[in-house]
């Protein structure tokens, strides 16, 4: 054979052998089985919880997927991945309350996967210590994959449910609860709020303070702040502590239950600053202190003194100490001798009587007036308080004459002299003393004896005062006025001057034929005799005092 042909044949054999060898290798790697499974552990970053709290339990799934027989990477991932994974903590298998149901996680490949948090509540009654929490993990996985170069791979799928455990420690610490509350505060006033709390925990709280907070402006602390802090200090387990606060209720606050929030700020035994969970503090104020006026009576008349009297009732709920009834009036025609009337201490439902002396000026008008009184008192804390105005309607009677004045003899002869007898009657309700009368006349009348005095007049009593009168001969026949006023003393010692009273006097002309000697002589002697009577003029009476 030609050498060239031998070389060509040799090359062809090499190529065929190479192709055959390549086909054999390819045939060996185009089929097989991949075997493995997921291997999941559950961990939590939440290690400590506190009694009486609600906590989110953060869980992490770690998959160390085990590969028993390898193969193509996509099949290795298939057999080591947990698919459709979910986790659940069953309520009743722990001392905690589980607030979240089953949680879907999805696919969990090799590595770590974070799950959504599970909410749990740690009851206050849980004892400190470590607790194992069972976490049920459910998922599907492929245990093996059979593959070849011809056709689709075959998957051998299974499901699995496994229980993993995480450990939680309930911290050994101070824990607090509200035992009781008591308040003396009233609507529209301030008082003391006492809050009693107990350390129900297992550790002491050091440097403890109780912070009380109000969420409404109807209830404030001290000078009007929304919160107040009371210091306790070291607070051992099982010990009750009472903290007092000064609270105030607004005037328009509703009579209802109010809620405050208390928190305890303290240092634990490791010196770490901590704050307790918020604690609800409930309280209900007493109703507003109130008073009433009953049996009110007024004896008032224009131009006279009178009284305004009544009874104050303490309607409670507390005792009014050092109570004083305060009279108020903005009417300038009403004058009160003293605007305050002190009473004895009034317990709830007790009464006290008041009596004010009231003067109504001549410028007042007869009408119905509104009198206001209030009660100033001290509460149980000794704070000075004043009630709302207690309104009463009173009637002021029209002005009346203090005296009734009547002329007994009303006739005088022109050019002659006579005496005028005036009957004076006390029309008031009070006895009067030292009643001094003063007469005022104008021409053609004249008087050299124009004053008189009566020592006393009881109500309704009358007395006669005699005044000397003379007339000019030119006087006309008609009526002329004689004016009189009176100065007198009241029972309280005050001296007053009455209004001016007028009585008419008739002047008659002398009849013709002249005057007979005897009547004229007798009349003259009578006038002289009247001049000798004891009469007290105002100036003389004052001098005699």
**CA–CA separation, 315 vs 544, rounded Å?**
57
**Three-class SS state of 189:** coil
User: Is 63 in contact with 40 (CB distance < 8 Å)?
Assistant: yes
The last residue of one of the domains, among 126, 155, 170, is 170
**CA–CA separation, 287 vs 318, rounded Å?**
10
The last residue of one of the domains, among 333, 362, 397, is 397
Q: Do 310 and 356 share a domain, yes or no?
A: yes
Minimum mean pLDDT range among 90-94, 191-195, 351-355, 504-508: 90-94
Q: Do 129 and 214 share a domain, yes or no?
A: no
Query: CB-hemisphere CA count at 13 Å for 391?
Result: 4
Categorize the per-residue pLDDT at 340 as very low, low, confident or very high, splitting at 50, 70 and 90.
very high
What's the pLDDT score for residue 512? 55
Short-list 379, 348, 365, CA closest to 249:
379
Q: Do 409 and 445 share a domain, yes or no?
A: yes
Q: Do 296 and 373 share a domain, yes or no?
A: yes
Highest mean pLDDT: which of 139-148, 431-440, 498-507?
139-148
**Three-class SS state of 451:** strand
pLDDT tens, residue by residue, 283-313: 999 898 999 999 988 888 888 888 899 999 9
**CA–CA separation, 276 vs 267, rounded Å?**
11
In a domain, 203, yes or no: yes
Q: How far is CA 34 from CA 29, 152, 455, 470, 516, in A?
A: 13, 14, 142, 158, 174
Q: Which two tokens stand for residue 500?
A: 């001016």
Query: CB-hemisphere CA count at 13 Å for 329?
Result: 22
What's the pLDDT score for residue 413? 86
In a domain, 8, yes or no: no
Lookup result for tokens 């011809």: 150
**CA–CA separation, 446 vs 470, rounded Å?**
5
pLDDT tens, residue by residue, 348-364: 999 999 999 998 887 78
pLDDT tens, residue by residue, 180-196: 999 988 998 888 999 99
Residue 141's contacts (CB-CB under 8 Å, 6 or more residues apart) are 37, 38, 79, 81, 82, 83, 157, 158, 159, 160
Q: Do 307 and 214 share a domain, yes or no?
A: no
End-to-end CA distance of the chain: 189
Q: Do 385 and 432 share a domain, yes or no?
A: no
Lookup result for tokens 């306790």: 232
In a domain, 274, yes or no: yes
Categorize the per-residue pLDDT at 444 as very low, low, confident or very high, splitting at 50, 70 and 90.
confident
Neighbour count for residue 391 (Cβ, 10 Å): 11
In a domain, 353, yes or no: yes
Q: Choose between 34 and 277: higher pLDDT.
A: 34
pTM of the shown model: 0.56
Say yes or no to pLDDT of 530 above 60: no
Short-list 163, 94, 101, CA closest to 130:
94
In a domain, 144, yes or no: yes
pLDDT tens, residue by residue, 222-237: 888 999 999 999 999 9
What's the pLDDT score for residue 129? 87
Q: Do 69 and 98 share a domain, yes or no?
A: yes
Task: Give mean pLDDT, residues 69-84.
Answer: 94
Q: Supply the mean pLDDT for the chain.
A: 84
User: Is 78 in contact with 142 (CB distance < 8 Å)?
Assistant: yes
pLDDT tens, residue by residue, 101-159: 999 999 999 999 999 999 999 888 888 889 999 999 999 999 999 999 888 999 999 99
DSSP 8-state assignment for residue 286: B
Residue 319 pairs with which residues in a beta bridge?
none
Torsion of CA 252, 257, 258, 264, to 10 degrees: 150
What's the pLDDT score for residue 2? 41
Name the residue range of residue 56's domain.
32-170
**CA–CA separation, 129 vs 51, rounded Å?**
11
User: Is 139 in contact with 158 (CB distance < 8 Å)?
Assistant: no
Q: Do 43 and 152 share a domain, yes or no?
A: yes
Task: Give mean pLDDT, residues 49-69.
Answer: 91
What's the pLDDT score for residue 468? 85
In a domain, 3, yes or no: no
**CA–CA separation, 509 vs 474, rounded Å?**
9
Say yes or no to pLDDT of 263 above 50: yes
Write the burial class of residue 202 (CB in 10 Å: 0-12 exposed, 13-18 middle, 19+ buried): middle
In a domain, 26, yes or no: no
Q: Do 309 and 256 share a domain, yes or no?
A: no
Q: Tell me what percent of the residues of the chain surpass a pLDDT of 70.
A: 88
**Three-class SS state of 444:** coil
Task: Give mean pLDDT, residues 492-511.
Answer: 85
Q: How large is the greatest C-alpha to C-alpha distance in the chain, in angstroms?
A: 221
The last residue of one of the domains, among 397, 432, 452, is 397
Q: Choose between 22 and 248: higher pLDDT.
A: 248
Residue 14's contacts (CB-CB under 8 Å, 6 or more residues apart) are none
Name the domain count of the chain. 4
Categorize the per-residue pLDDT at 511 as very low, low, confident or very high, splitting at 50, 70 and 90.
low
Q: Do 139 and 45 share a domain, yes or no?
A: yes
What's the pLDDT score for residue 525? 36
Q: Do 211 and 319 share a domain, yes or no?
A: no
In a domain, 12, yes or no: no
Q: What are phi and psi of 497, to 5 degrees?
A: -115, 130
Categorize the per-residue pLDDT at 337 as very low, low, confident or very high, splitting at 50, 70 and 90.
confident
Residue 42's contacts (CB-CB under 8 Å, 6 or more residues apart) are 59, 60, 61, 62, 87, 135, 137, 164, 165, 166
Say yes or no to pLDDT of 431 above 70: yes
Lookup result for tokens 């009743």: 92
Minimum mean pLDDT range among 338-347, 450-459, 463-472, 511-520: 511-520
User: Is 341 in contact with 322 (CB distance < 8 Å)?
Assistant: no
In CATH, what number is assigned to the domain containing residue 189? 2.60.40.10
Q: Do 264 and 140 share a domain, yes or no?
A: no
Say yes or no to pLDDT of 516 above 50: no
């Amino acid at each position: 054979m030609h050498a060239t042909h031998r070389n060509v044949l040799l090359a062809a054999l090499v190529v065929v052998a190479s192709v055959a060898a390549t086909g054999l290798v390819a045939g060996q790697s185009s089929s097989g089985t991949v075997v493995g499974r997921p291997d999941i552990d559950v961990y939590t970053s939440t290690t400590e919880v506190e009694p009486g709290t609600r906590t989110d339990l953060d869980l992490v799934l770690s998959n160390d997927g085990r590969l028993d027989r390898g193969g193509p990477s996509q099949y290795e991932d298939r057999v080591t991945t947990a698919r459709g994974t979910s986790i659940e903590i069953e309520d009743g298998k722990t001392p905690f309350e589980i607030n979240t149901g089953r949680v879907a996680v999805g696919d969990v490949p090799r590595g770590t996967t974070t799950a959504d948090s599970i909410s749990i509540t740690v009851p206050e009654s849980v004892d400190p210590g470590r607790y194992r929490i069972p976490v049920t993990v459910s998922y599907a996985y492929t245990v093996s994959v059979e593959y070849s170069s011809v056709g689709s791979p075959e998957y051998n799928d299974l499901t699995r449910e496994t229980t993993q455990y995480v450990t939680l420690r309930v911290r050994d610490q101070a824990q607090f609860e509200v035992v009781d509350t008591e308040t003396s505060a009233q609507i529209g006033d301030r008082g003391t709020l006492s809050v009693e709390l107990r350390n129900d925990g297992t550790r002491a709280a050091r440097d403890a303070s109780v912070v009380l907070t109000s969420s409404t402006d109807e209830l404030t602390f001290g000078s009007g702040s929304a919160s107040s802090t009371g210091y306790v200090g070291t607070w051992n387990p099982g010990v009750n502590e009472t903290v007092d606060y000064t609270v105030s209720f607004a005037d328009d606050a509703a009579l209802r239950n109010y809620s405050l929030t208390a928190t305890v700020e303290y240092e634990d035994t490791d010196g770490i600053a901590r704050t307790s969970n918020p604690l609800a503090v409930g309280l209900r104020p007493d109703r507003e202190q109130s008073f009433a006026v009953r049996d009110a009576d007024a004896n008032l008349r224009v131009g006279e003194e009178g009284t305004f009297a009544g009874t104050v009732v303490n309607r409670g709920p507390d005792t009014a100490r050092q109570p004083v009834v305060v009279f108020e009036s903005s009417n300038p025609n009403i004058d009160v001798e003293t605007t305050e009337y002190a009473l004895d201490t009034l317990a709830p439902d007790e009464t006290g009587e008041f009596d004010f002396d009231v003067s109504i000026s001549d410028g007042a008008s007869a009408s119905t007036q509104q009198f206001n009184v209030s009660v100033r008192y001290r509460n149980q804390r000794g704070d000075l308080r004043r009630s709302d105005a207690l309104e009463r309607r009173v009637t002021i009677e029209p002005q009346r004459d203090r005296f009734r004045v009547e002329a007994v003899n009303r006739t005088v002869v022109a050019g002659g002299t006579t005496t005028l007898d005036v009957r004076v009657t006390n029309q008031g309700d009070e006895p009067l003393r030292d009643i001094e009368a003063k007469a005022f006349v104008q021409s053609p009348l004249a008087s050299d004896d124009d004053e008189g005095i009566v020592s006393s007049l009881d109500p309704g009593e009358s007395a006669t005062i005699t005044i000397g009168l003379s007339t000019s001969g030119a006087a006309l026949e008609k009526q002329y006025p004689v004016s009189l006023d009176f100065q007198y003393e009241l029972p309280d010692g005050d001296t007053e001057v009455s209004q001016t009273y007028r009585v008419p006097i008739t002047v008659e002309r002398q009849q013709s034929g002249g005057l007979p000697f005897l009547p004229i002589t007798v009349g003259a002697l009578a006038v002289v005799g009247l001049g000798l009577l004891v009469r007290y003029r105002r100036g003389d009476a004052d001098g005699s005092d």
